[in-house]
Structure 1
Amino acid sequence: MGKQLTLAAAGMLLLVGVSAAAAQDVIIQPEHDTVIREYVKKKPVASLSLPGVELNIGTALPETVELYEVPDVQYRYVVIEGRTVLVDPGTRKIVKVYD
């Protein structure tokens, strides 16, 4: 019985890991990437400081952070610590960080 529970737990961890990895693998099409970069240059926004928030893919931004639209792109952007951050507006999770 203990061996079965261990195998079941290992299987669940594997599934959770695969799901998490799939959720973080957002691929920005090159044409969208170009549109985003050009739009952000044309429409600069003030850079925010968010102490304690790491700019990593998958990090969720607080509801208090205003996200800005890029026309014809499903993601939104914000500038944090001088870096443009692309965010999924539904989950508020970071999908890409531009340097």
Structure 2
Amino acid sequence: MRMRLSTAAAGFLLLAGIGAAAAQDVVIAPEQETVIREYVKKQPLASVKIPGVELNIGSTLPETVELHEVPDTEYRYVVVDNRTVVVDPGTRKIIKIIE
């Protein structure tokens, strides 16, 4: 009986971890993505270099990188290595890379 409880508890914790990871994913609504794409096209920024940071969804940008507001959204953006990245300002994590 004790073994079953341990197995069940381990399974529950594993599933809880998967659920928490999925909850951290940020999904931008299509309407907001259109607003973001149009805005960054009209407001180009100079590209910056950030040594040691890989440009991937989920990568965190350092506090030294200035993020720029996208009006009518909760997101910020910056151009890194000539690629526009959309960032969650609360976590500074990259949530979208606009090619």
TM-score (norm 2): 0.83
Q: Distance in 1 between matches of 2:54 and 2:5?
A: 38
Instruction: Map 1:33-48 to 2 at 5 A.
Output: 33-48=33-48
Q: Residue deviations 1:4-49, cap 9 Å, x none? A: 445434432331222112211x222222112111111111111111
- Structure 1: tracts of 5 or more residues without a match: none
Count how many residue pairs are aligned between Structure 1 and Structure 2: 98
Q: Which residue of 1 aligns with 2:69?
A: 69
The answer to whether 1:29 aligns with 2:33 is: no
CA root-mean-square deviation: 1.8
TM-score (norm 1): 0.83
The answer to whether 1:11 aligns with 2:12 is: yes
State the identity as a percent: 61
- Structure 2: tracts of 5 or more residues without a match: none
Moved more, 62-71 or 1-10: 1-10
Q: Rg bigger for which structure?
A: 2
Tell me how far 1:72 sits from its aligned partner. Answer: 0.4
Q: Distance in 2 between matches of 1:3 and 1:30?
A: 45
